[in-house]
Structure formats: C-alpha cells, structure tokens
Structure 1
Amino acid sequence: MGGRQDGKSVLYTSHVLAEVEKIADRVVIMKEGKVVLSGNLDDIKSSYKLVVSKDELRGYLLKTLRSGERIYLMKKEEIPENVQVEDASFEDIFEAIVRGERDVQ
C-alpha cells in the first residue's frame, strides 16, 4: 500500500482515540452530524491546553474537582495569565468538544 507517497487517503472512523492518534495525520471531529473541528492532529493538539482554575473561565468545562477547582480545555490564545496550564491529549480535546459544555463567561 503506497498511501501518502502515492497521494492517496484512507478514511478511518473510530472512537478508539489511541488508535486514531497512532495512525492519523489529519482528523475530523463531528458532533450531531456536523464537523466541529478538523485539521492536522499535531496542530490541533498544540493549539489547546488544559487550564486549572477556581475562577469561571471561557472554555470547555471538563470537570470540577473536589477542591472546587475546574479543569477547562481552552485555545492557547484565550488562556488568561496566572493560571495552571497543562498539555491536552487528543482524548481531552475530543471529550471536551463532543461531550463537554462550553462556558460563556
């Protein structure tokens, strides 16, 4: 199978995100039949971060911790100063966009 060298593409659908991360260069995330995010996987992963804050922020709320802190998925350019920032996995991004709720503070 020539693949990339021959200019061919393969459409692969899966909810097994670890597999997708291993084999895909480009991804498309759909929600309710609509494309909500698409692009190069590395570019997508580098453009989002996890933010931990007690404050309400504009981002995808992933979970609230017992301490009262919230974990958000945010675009890098939207992250405020003085917050704890961590790298987001592709699974974090997928979960936040497909299942998470976007806070609009």
Structure 2
Amino acid sequence: MEYASGLIKLKPGSEDKVEHWRATIASRLDEAAATLQDEEVQIESWFKVEIDGNKYLLWYLRANSIKRVFEVSMQLKHPIDRFHYELMAEIAAQNGNVLAQPLIDIPRESK
C-alpha cells in the first residue's frame, strides 16, 4: 500500500467555492466512491487548515499505487472527476501545491 499527502494553498476569498466543492462531493458520494474504486484508493481524506493567515486544503490518500490514482483520475471517467479538477484549478493559488514527504503510515492491521 502506498500513501501521499499535500497542501493546496487557497486563493483569498475562495471559501465559498471550497464549501460548494465539499457539498457537491458529499451529495454525490456514490459517484465519488466509484472513482475511488477505479483508482484502487483505500482512503481519501480532506481537511481545511489555516497557517499564518493563509488557508489551505490538506489531502491524504492511501492506495495500491499513487501513480495509478492520478493516471486514472485524469481520464475523467466520472463527471465528479472533472468537477473536482476544474474547481481545484479555480481555488488553488499559483504555485500553491505542496507535496508532503511521506514518513510513516500505520495501518491497523499489518501483514
């Protein structure tokens, strides 16, 4: 299992769009779950974070292959994928994506 995380710095004033994105994903969970199935994602989580007055989205993925997650999601098979990427492009600050360096991921059951 692989894992990845990162921060997306938000453009000022994008809070309403973030809420629209959250509400849309929440109202279309079956479609979002189908996307995760296609991508072989075990967990995808999102959080709002504020650091020194700047607002960010923090994301976390655990999947069989992180490379596969991005390859499959970029095929835009599900309309929710297009919605997600278009909205992220609107709200992300220029050069605002920061990947975290993976250190450790502790599953409940180890093999």
TM norm structure 1 = 0.31
TM norm structure 2 = 0.30
Larger gyration radius, structure 1 or structure 2: 1
